[in-house]
Structure 1
Amino acid sequence: MNSWLTIDPDNQGNQHLLFYLFALATVVVIITAYGVRKKIPLTPLILLLFSTFLFSILGGKLFSFGFDEWLNILKTQQIPETRNKTILGYLIFGVIGFYLTRYLLKFKYPVGTAFAFAWPVGLIVTRLGCLTGGCCYGHVTDSVLGISYAKGSLAYNSQLFTGLIQPGQTVSLPVHPVPLYEIIFCVVLLFMLYTIYKKRILKHESSLFFLSITLYGFFRFFEEFIRPGQSGVLGLQKAQVISLLLFILSTGFVFIAEKYRKDKTESERSFTDINRYIFVLTGLLLLLISISNWLTFTELIFLQLLSYSALFITSINVIQTLKIKVAYALPSLMMFMAFLLMSQTLSTPLDSVFTSKKYFTIGAGGSYGKEEEICGGVNEYSAFGMNLEYTNEYKKDKKFSFGSQLYTINYDYANYLGFTPYLKWDSRYIGGKLGINLSNLESEYKGSEIVPSLALRIGPENIFFVDAHYADYLPGELPAFQAGLGVGFRNHPGNRIRIGISESGLYLNPRLMLNENFSLDPFLAYSTATNYQLALRIHYTFYEK
């Protein structure tokens, strides 16, 4: 049997991962563009997207397990790690995450149409990766559409194991191009959905989405007859059982939506509750932290980017909502300073009349280092993080801040995720910070998932001060302990140099103000060739007018 196409897949899976990541990003872009076009508030929309994808990826993994694997899971009460995934699990758990978050946010804007068109486009991109990667294939066929895969592919190895081909053969027997069938189906599905949408055949905004699920469930049920797999309930494969459930449930949703539900008016949709945003975001971040070890690198990176976006946009919304009018912004007299401490005299610019300031600062940072354990082992790690902080400078040299940071650490070849909300208070001679690190990183100094984030400064920051920090360093928690002294430059506000000791050795940490808004914050700590850290933080400040 000859095939019209032979594919030599990337056996490392990198090609498929790129298609997978691009498919996820494509869905996000389509739905976000739809929301902007329809003037849907961005904060609940991004939270809805974050929740939908988080639940989808979780469901795609959970539904990849077979009947026997689930029996073992129930027996051992442990879920094994897996790189497998199925679109059926994506759809089921995605719908659960979508409607749960929609209910919690009281989100009434119509976005079902956007999801109806977005997910088939994402599936097309994913199946292109499956086609070239060889991860999905059908039974052996003599059809003119049959394709072959080169030596080393999943199809080739499966046929070699079952004796269909001999070890010396260079390509597999032709198989049904299942990903190509799904691509063709999705193209036809998009055309059908567009026709139904333009002719206003369906009344409710969610009906089009559930119709797309109905049609895919119908298609997937029959497609499974040409896919390899084990029989389960009533002689049907697991995917066929799930497809039947999808078909029945989504058809019921369409019927109920069209017969009994009505679209909300615009006045009913204009609802904002910042407390709900914070509650939902916190819950989603905690869920992401709890399952991060179970995710692939691609999935973790994608969800991290979504979580950063949700954190940033929600934080801005909080700042705008909680804007406080400070009535006691007292102007101070212009002061002339001629002498500094230690009986040194420097030329000092005149201080202007003080005016209260409100601003928020966005920061990003990355670090790389090695940590030597007590037992002699050496762990290599890298980290990346972002933070957003709001500051109210209500008196001269007195300010109050609150913020949060989100970071990821690759520690000893495993990925960990952390989230740290915190409060800060600063005056001229003393300052402090109190926060909580929530993560699944475990090291010598940390035996649980919750660790305090602490900092204390004594002395004026623009002249001379001593300070100490514990688990308080963007981008992450390493090194855990720092203590030292610092010198500020009064003629150049904001610039300072810190030196001291840390778990990574002696450190040098200058802060360089490039202008009023932009600063660089490099960090170098060194003890030995197996215990050091290099890091760089960047901050940008936005002042309220």
Structure 2
Amino acid sequence: MPLFATLLLPSPEGHHYYTTCYVAAFAVQLALLLWAGYRRGYPLQTWLVLIAASTLAFIVGTKLLALPANAWPALLQHGTWPDTTARSVLGGGLGFGVVVLLLRRWLGFGWHVADAFAMPFCAGLVVQCVGCLLTGCCFGEVTDSAWGITYAAGSIPYIFQQQQGLLEMGATHSLALHPTQLYTLVLCAGTGLVLWLTRHRRWPAGSWALLQAGLLVLGRLVIEFWREPAGEPVGATFITLGGIRMMQLQWLLLPYTIFLLGVWGLFVYHARTVNSTPEVPPRNQPVRNLLVVVVLLVGTLLLPAGALTQPELVVVKVVLLVVVLLATTTVLQGAMATRRAGLPLAAAAVVLLFTNQVPADSTRAYFSFTPGFISGAYDQDINGGGGGGSCSSPAYRVGYYHKYQAVGGDFAYTRPSVRTTGRVSYGVGLWGGNEYISAQPLTPGGPFLTANPKDGRRFSLLDINPYIQRDRIRASGFGYGIRLGVHIGTLAHLGDPDASGSDGLQTLAAVPEATIWLGVRRTLFVQGDYAVGPLGVGNPTGRIALGSGLGSTWSRQLLAGVALAEHDPTKGMAFLSASVPLGNTGLWAEPYGATNFGRHHQVAMRLQYRLSKKH
């Protein structure tokens, strides 16, 4: 009796096991790839470009190889993508390999870059195998072994066995099957373990990639002996050669396995007599990065409708958008010529235009991604010492001159309220940048000198900002909203006479965030807030303002009022901020500016993109 016969795997009906694990697999792989690139010293922009290109090629490759032969004429002649969910990881591997070979030299990478993908790819496959197991795809043949698994009614194996007449009427579960998905999971995990155990070997560049591919292909060849042919989208027809009966796919994998492991063996043998060449990280080349991004976007736009699912679009788009933002930041910092600034800005618009958007004032749930930047400047006039008594220190006065800038963004999920008209948002922001602080001694009681010394120091800024926001609207239009959160990290460095450091600066590590508004959003409302979003980093700012939705509840917003932040001699600034949709592009521009018309000012710009949640 099968070991798991009484522990039925759940039916996928009403669940999204495959999609959830599919996205999670890419997330795990991306995180590990970023870590691998960091360890190897790869420039982030260039590394993300290669990751995005190879990911897109992998996704498209998994589908192209699995297309049935009768679907190709309609695809080539009319651009009609067939209605099929079949995928083959082998096609993904081929697409990935071709793109890495094409872009490796153009982006400045050596052959070592292939090894950087090896272990993260195995980890992603392990996660995806969980989705295959729960969904029931890639299932095995019927077995009476002790480790067989069964599936509930409505699953893919159950429906297949029902169509084949293998199940009795009213059967509650399928016959026991070989858990080929678990076999594959063990194969991928074992391959990753082998790569980790051999990571310090003095092998030539590309050896680990060859070993990984060879082991995975060999394992796939063996696992196919227990896989149900109906669950194999590629080469499932049996062929007998020399008395050996295998599927077409297995006959193709056999020489490929010999080739991969044979070349790996030659590499390792050759390494015994020749010293391996150390890896040299590539230089960051923003123009080449953006050209590749534009090519990827054009290629994506040319794909037939339905070629990429919504989760796949999100995976590719997030990576491409980060690349464009980093390149745009490079432009703004002066690393590129001003005349090229239009290229990344145009690319940013194209990145966000090739999927469906959320309409204005939508009542649907949606995810939002709001990248941007903030910069500001302020002065501090710090007095210390003095006082009475024999132990008092002499009076002193120091002027601090702060300039800061940060880039980052917010990721949030917004849904309609369940019981009342309104909405609830859950989000987290991540911002990073630097603060330049210069200081000079001043005469106590004398004028505050505003000439900035040039011997300042640069400090890093980091802000992690989780928050929750609730908005309520009554039938009359009157409503209110509350937002609560916290900023944690290295938020600012303030002059403080009681600071323990020799530079007289106190690091600000945590700041609360709060917002409350009250009124009719479509016409006029009052809002007070403190440290909202990027205003919590650099110089935490509070605001008191009047606002209007300009005839809209959520689509547009205009705020004007007084902003209060650290500055001497006065803390107040006039500010103006807005959130307006850019036509029908699905983008919202969110500019913000505050100034005392002197040395105290803040400027921020964000672009919000909304992605509808599919039901």
- Relative to the length of structure 1, the TM-score reads 0.60
The RMSD of aligned alpha carbons is 4.7
The answer (yes or no) to whether the contact 1:367–1:384 under 8 Å persists in 2 is no
Aligned runs of 1:174-189 on 2, under 5 Å? Answer: 174-189=176-191
Q: CA deviation at 1:237?
A: 3.8
- 1:542 Cα deviation after fit: 6.3
2:253 aligns with: 243
Maintained 8 Å contact 1:83/1:296: no
Per-residue deviation at 1:19? 1.2
- d(CA) in 1 for partners of 2:11, 2:283: 50
Structure 2 residue aligned with 1:220? 220
1:61 maps to 63
The answer to whether structure 1 residue 167 and structure 2 residue 169 are counterparts is yes
Paired amino acid for 1:273: Q
Tell me the CA shift for residue 69 of structure 1: 4.1
- After TM superposition, the structure 1 = structure 2 runs for residues 300-339 of structure 1, keeping only pairs within 5 Å, are 300-320=313-333, 322=335
Cα drift, residue 42 of structure 1: 1.0
Q: CA deviation at 1:384?
A: 5.7
Superposed displacement of residue 304, structure 1: 1.5
Partner amino acid, structure 2, of 1:522: S
- The correspondence of residues 11-410 of structure 1 with structure 2, limited to 5 A, is 11-70=13-72, 73=75, 78-108=80-110, 110-200=112-202, 203-229=203-229, 231-232=236-237, 234=239, 237=247, 239-240=249-250, 243-244=253-254, 246-248=256-258, 250-251=260-261, 254=264, 259=270, 265=278, 269-291=281-303, 293-320=306-333, 322=335, 368-369=358-359
Assess if the C-alpha contact under 8 Å between 1:127 and 1:179 holds in 2: yes
> Which letter does structure 2 place at the counterpart of 1:37?
R
Contact 2:49 2:323 in 1 (8 A): yes
SS in 2 for 1:198: coil
The percent of aligned pairs where both chains have the same amino acid is 23
Opposite residue 226 of structure 1, the aligned amino acid is W
C-alpha distance 225-315 of structure 1, shift in aligned 2 (>3 A): same
Q: Offset of 1:27 from its aligned partner?
A: 0.7
Aligned residues: 392
Gaps of 5+ in 1: 326-361, 372-377, 392-494, 526-530
TM-score normalised by length of structure 2: 0.54
Report how far residue 21 of structure 1 moved. Answer: 0.8
User: Quick one: structure 1 residues 285 and 116, their matched pair in 2 at CA, closer, same or farther if it must change by over 3 Å?
Assistant: same
**Larger helix share, 1 or 2:** 1
Aligned with 1:104: secondary structure? coil
* Distance (whole Å) between structure 2 residues aligned to residue 137 and residue 511 of structure 1: 57
Instruction: Letter of the 1:286 partner, please give it.
Output: V
CA contact (8 A) 1:134 1:149 kept: yes
Asked whether the equivalents of residues 367 and 383 of structure 1 are also in contact (C-alpha less than 8 Å), the reply is no
Correspondence for 2:578 among 518, 521, 530: 521
Provide the residue aligned with 1:395 in structure 2.
none
Instruction: Say if 1:11 and 1:152, in contact at 8 Å, map to a contact too.
Output: yes
Letter of the structure 1 residue corresponding to residue 166 of structure 2: L
Partners of 1:109 and 1:314 in 2: CA distance: 25
1:239 Cα offset (Å): 4.0
The residue type paired with residue 279 of structure 1 is L
Structure 2: distance between partners of 1:229 and 1:519: 65
Deviates more, 1:55-64 or 1:244-253: 244-253
**Conservation of the 8 A alpha-carbon contact between 2:118 and 2:208:** yes
| CA distance in structure 1 between the aligned counterparts of 2:250 and 2:564, rounded to whole angstroms | 62
The answer (yes or no) to whether the contact 2:17–2:135 under 8 Å persists in 1 is yes
Matches of 1:496 and 1:262, distance apart in 2: 70
Give a deviation string over 1:392-416, Cα, whole Å, max 9, x none. Answer: xxxxxxxxxxxxxxxxxxxxxxxxx
Separation in structure 1 between the aligned mates of residue 366 and residue 43 of structure 2, nearest angstrom: 36
- Match runs of 1:445-464 below 5 Å: none
Q: CA–CA distance in 2 between the matches of 1:508 and 1:142? A: 63
Deviation at 1:166, TM superposition (A): 1.7
Partner amino acid, structure 2, of 1:275? V
Spell out, residue by residue over 1:122-151, the C-alpha distance to the aligned partner (whole angstroms, 9 max, x if none). Answer: 111111111122222101111111100011
Contact 1:368–1:382 (CA under 8 A) maintained in structure 2: yes
> Which moved further from structure 2: 11-20 or 287-296?
287-296
Structure 1 contact 370–381 (Cα < 8 Å) conserved = no
CA distance 1:110–1:313, shift in 2 (3 Å): farther
Query: Would the alpha carbon gap of residues 198 and 98 (structure 1) be closer, same or farther in structure 2, given more than 3 Å must change?
Result: same
CA distance in 1, matches of 2:77, 2:581: 50
